[in-house]
Structure 1
Amino acid sequence: MNMKLNTVLSVTLAVLLNLTGSFCQLDVCGQAPLNTKFIGEKDANAGSWPWQVSINEISYQNHFCGGSLINKDWVLSAAHCFQSIGMPDIVIYLGRQNQQGPNPLEINRTVIQLIIHPNYDPDTQDNDIALLQLSSSVNFTDYIKPVCLAAAGSEFDEGLSNWVTGWGASLEKIFPDMFQQAEIPIVSNNDCNIGYNGIVTDNMLCAGLLNDEGESPCQYDAGGPLVSKQGSGWIQSGIVSFNQGCLELTFPSVFTRVSQYQDWINIYTVNNQPGFVTFPDDYDYALDPISNITSIFSGSSTSLYLPLNHTFSIATFIFCFLIQMLSESS
């Protein structure tokens, strides 16, 4: 009887887990407890952006692109990074702070699968997105965590503040040893296209300062994340793709728009889907459902109405918690 019950329970849990998909990531993704950045600071503190990875070429032992950890097994980056470098020559560092010097908190993984978007166009950089499967799963710490990803239908309005991170060159043409960060605003695709002769598509997102020099991603930042804060967590809105001469920048930089690729990403991460979050909308409910439940039933909530997707987020959060408890007790 117990064996039958366990079998039924296991099958039911497996089906429900597949249905809930990315919601089980929402209790860990986008959380950066050590992020104590200040406006104007270029150097990022250790653990400030725990999803950032450094992608290195084994042959020359050098950093050549960035990327972001999206679950325990997969990294998101840009397709153009891998046009001349093959999978056997790639090593990924997680939890890295310095490109030289010691990094006592970092770990590394090789890559067992490299997936370039099938419609990537190297001439226009459309669909500039790639997935890399790590050689083994990573354990999450304060210094190594996945980022939440912008879900399909997310909108990032002009002027919205975003952060871009990496080890790219500065305006002084210096390639930093220390991990860097910069705050840049979203620019509308229409305005952005003025400087790019109309090549900016709906699969792209622009951010930076229009007709003015300022901080921007540069050489070796490619593939790294552009993130927006919502509630107490961070959502990746873009992937560093290209710009017009980053060191003398007069137009915004162009990023791959992550929200356009939810279905494509889920095809390959089906057993452990990333945390996809709609921006702006349901993030607070999904990320902190317990406090919202408490406020609703205590009467302190501003609204007693929970939309269907919010209710589903709360239910799946509780379900994921129960799965974790069952797995720990077995």
Structure 2
Amino acid sequence: MDEVKKMNEQANTPTTLLIGVLGVIILSAHVDSGGSATAEGDWSLMAYIYERKAGVLNRFICGGSLINNRWVLSATHCFQTPNRNLYRVRLGEYSRSVTSPNEQDFGVSKLVLHASFDPVAFVFDIALIKLSGAATINQYVSPVNLVDAGRCTDPTPNFPVDACYTLGWGNTAAGNTSNTLRKVTSYILPHRLCKSHTEQHVAKYGNRPVLYKCEAKFCGGYNRYEDTCQGDSGGPLVCRHSDNQYYVHGILSYGTKPCGFGLPGIYTSVAVCRGWISRMMTP
């Protein structure tokens, strides 16, 4: 399994954590140079979504969040086809180069892509995956809370420094997907700043500015030393609430291309999509 897992896994991924020092992008040869390191079991909510071909792992696609023992939350644009049989989900993943007894692999029994997803504007970039079986909940695999339902007109959540993170295995400064799960500190930006940044740098955002507060999107990140990148798509932006538990606020949808400009990533709002999530999570 180790040979199959490592030799067939390709870094051809849709959207980690690129880091710059003193505003200069460091082209380090060290694969894990982006963001901050995590330890195995730190983020038991993370799902590793991959494609299989002829029954064998073909390539890593996106991240996701386990929200109960049967369902994973991710992004619609991660799935090039609605054929659920092409995908698998691994829970308890930490290092892509090591097969751990803490991992749990599942097929996909149901793949729900948002019917209103716009592949041009990337609006409603949200997806749900029903696992082929129930996950065993333990210290390495456990669901995360979802933020309460809200309206697009609600005030922007305000969290203290180091309360919110984005998680993923995406590209680092070396240009390769990270071998281990990493995190970047993320801030949820007020809409006026989000609009300003995405309008000013519209070409870098693939001509997808966030113009209206009710687009069910928001900006997160904006730390000039760190950035999300290709491969982080579908992963969560989580924030620690006053009860000391983490809640998913956003699903990483897209960012600047190339990454590394210290500009915010664009996230699908979980609060605005809570009604859809509840309706789609059918037995």
- Higher gyration radius (CA): 1
Write the distance in 1 (CA, Å) between the matches of 2:146 and 2:134. Answer: 19
Partner of 1:52: 46
CA distance in 2, matches of 1:246, 1:151: 33
Post-superposition Cα deviations, 1:242-261, rounded to whole Å, max 9, x if no partner, equal 11125322421110000011
1:123 deviates by: 0.4
Find the counterpart in structure 2 of residue 217 from structure 1: 228
Query: Do 2:227 and 2:262's aligned partners in 1 also have CA atoms closer than 8 Å?
Result: no
**1:47: how far off?**
1.0
Per the alignment, in what secondary structure is the counterpart of residue 43 of structure 2? coil
Tell me the CA shift for residue 268 of structure 1.
2.4
Query: TM-score, normalised on structure 2?
Result: 0.76
Of the three residues 242, 248, 252, the one matched with 1:240 is 252
Consecutive unaligned residues in structure 2, runs of 5 or more: 1-33, 200-208
After superposition, where does 1:275-286 map in structure 2 within 5 Å? none
Written as runs of structure 1 = structure 2, the 5 A alignment for 1:49-198 is: 49-59=43-53, 61-84=58-81, 86-153=83-150, 156-157=156-157, 160=160, 161-197=163-199, 198=209
Q: In structure 1, which of residues 248, 254, 269 is the aligned counterpart of residue 281 of structure 2?
A: 269
In structure 1, distance between residues paired with 2:183 and 2:41: 12
Aligned to 2:218: 205
* 153-162 vs 102-111, which moves further: 153-162
Q: What code does the residue aligned with 1:236 have?
A: V
- What amino acid is aligned across from residue 122 of structure 2 in structure 1? Q
Structure 1 residues not aligned, in runs of 5+: 1-39, 272-330
Tell me the number of residue pairs that the alignment of Structure 1 and Structure 2 aligns.
230
Does the aligned pair in 2 maintain the 1:171–1:215 contact within 8 Å?
Answer: no
Instruction: Please tell me whether the aligned partners of residues 90 and 110 of structure 1 are also in contact (alpha carbons under 8 angstroms).
Output: yes
Q: What secondary structure does 2:188 align onto?
A: strand
2: CA distance between counterparts of 1:249 and 1:166? 18
How far does residue 69 in structure 1 lie from its aligned partner after superposition? Answer: 0.5
Q: Please identify, of 158-167 and 124-133, the stretch whose mean Cα deviation from structure 2 is larger.
A: 158-167
- Residue 255 of structure 1 aligns with an amino acid whose one-letter code is Y
Query: CA, structure 1 residues 61+100, in 2 after alignment: closer, same or farther (shift >3 Å)?
Result: farther
Contact 1:74 1:131 in 2 (8 A): yes
Higher strand share: 2
SS of structure 2 residue aligned to 1:131: strand
SS at match of 2:194: helix
Q: CA deviation at 1:157?
A: 3.0
Aligned counterparts of 1:89 and 1:265: Cα–Cα separation in 2 = 23
1:148-186 deviations in whole A, cap 9, x for unaligned? Answer: 001112754356541011101123424211111111222
Match of 1:187, SS state, is coil
Cα distance in 2 for residues equivalent to 1:47 and 1:240: 21
**Residue 196 of structure 1: CA displacement?**
2.1
| Cα deviations by residue, 1:9-44 (Å, 9 ceiling, x for unpaired) | xxxxxxxxxxxxxxxxxxxxxxxxxxxxxxx97121
SS in 1 for 2:37: coil
Alignment of 1:249-264 (within 5 A): 249-264=261-276
Query: Do the aligned partners of 2:82 and 2:113 also contact (CA within 8 Å) in 1?
Result: no
Secondary structure of the corresponding residue to residue 227 of structure 2: coil
Structure 1 contact 159–187 (Cα < 8 Å) conserved: no
RMSD value, Cα: 2.1
Say if 1:237 and 1:136 are closer, same or farther in 2 by CA, change over 3 A: same
Which one is further off, 96-105 or 253-262?
96-105
CA contact (8 A) 1:228 1:235 kept: yes
Q: How big is the shift at 1:125?
A: 0.5
Is contact 2:125–2:268 with CA below 8 Å preserved after alignment?
yes
Which letter maps to 1:132? Answer: I
Aligned residue for 1:101, secondary structure, equals: coil
Structure with greater contact order relative to length (CA < 8 Å, sep ≥ 6) = 2
In the TM superposition, residue 83 of structure 1 has moved relative to its aligned partner by: 2.5
